[in-house]
Amino acid sequence: MFIHCELVILILAMTLDGQVHAGKIHADHEAVPHSRPYMVLLELHMEGGSKGHCGGFLLNEDFVMTAAHCQAKSYTALLGVHNVHRNNEIQHISVKDIFPHKYFNTSDYQNDIMLLKLSSKATFSKNVRPIPLAGKDDGSLPKSCIVSGWGKTDKNGKYMSAVLMEVNVTLIKNEKCAADKFYCSEGKTGPAEGDGGVPLVCNDGKAYGVVSTSGNPNSDGPIIYRYTKIPKYRKWIDFNMENCGKL
């Protein structure tokens, strides 16, 4: 976890007009087991039988939020995960319906947000709990934010992390990010391949963003990590959860 997301190299090369590369991360650490009970590990079942992974987070007993770029033929949501090898702790629930944002743009990844409706209700416990979402955007940047996930831990890694990892990120003021409805952070630490769709959680314990893409807009500058700004999508989220939840 917490390196450049290789899944979107070509996209970011076009949209950020600069070299996209990866760097080894120096500040990631294992999360306290089950300290983030809203986290969801998504198994992506692809055409041809292959599998991939993204992250997500639980909104209520019926819905998981993730990134729209986490496209697959079908999905299985794993709830209550810390160590992926301890199956006795995990709820496996298939996804019934997917609701990617209508205007998700595959060329620049704007509107990179998606709701997944579970085929059966999640069972809440001390290890499985929803997370509240940030409300209206007041223009300020949230403070003391954390990103958690099971993505790769270094640029040469072949496998996802077996345990939930996390890293602190500091959001930056960036006019391009704001115009495109993203929060952004920069530097050597941030989400990696396999971490798409995980939440950006800040000091009040609410989810403010969805991990989208990363890249280097300047060949000699820092990597920029982008998070779809949840406060800009609250009407869309609330409408779809209310109406799609009845299906």
Q: Give the Cα separation of 215 and 20 in Å (integer).
A: 5
Least confident window among 1-15, 92-106, 178-192 = 1-15
Residues 6+ apart with CB under 8 A from 41: 53, 55, 56, 77, 78, 81, 84, 150
User: Tens of pLDDT along 37-85?
Assistant: 999 999 999 998 899 999 999 999 999 999 999 999 999 999 999 999 9
Lookup: tokens for 135: 């409300």
β-strand partners of 228: 182, 210
Output the pLDDT for position 218. Answer: 73
Give the mean pLDDT of 125-150.
93
Buried b (16+ CB within 10 A) or exposed e, 71-92: bbeebbbbbbbbebeeeebbbe
Output the pLDDT for position 26. Answer: 36
Q: Which of 129, 123, 147 is nearest to 195 (CA)?
A: 147
Least confident window among 17-21, 48-52, 67-71, 154-158 = 17-21
Please tell me the class of the 39-130+233-244 domain: mainly beta
User: Tens of pLDDT along 89-107?
Assistant: 799 999 999 999 999 988 8
Residues 212 and 228: beta-carbon distance below 8 Å: yes
Output the pLDDT for position 133. Answer: 98
Whole-number CA gyration radius for the chain: 16
Read off the pTM: 0.87
Statement: residue 124 has pLDDT above 70? yes
Statement: residue 12 has pLDDT above 60? no
Statement: residue 18 has pLDDT above 90? no
Q: Give the Cα separation of 222 and 57 in Å (integer).
A: 28
Residues 6+ apart with CB under 8 A from 74: 45, 94, 95
Q: What's the CATH superfamily of 6-31+132-231?
A: Trypsin-like serine proteases (2.40.10.10)
Q: Give the Cα separation of 219 and 222 in Å (integer).
A: 8
Output the pLDDT for position 2. Answer: 41
CATH 2.40.10.10-classified regions of the chain? 6-31+132-231, 39-130+233-244
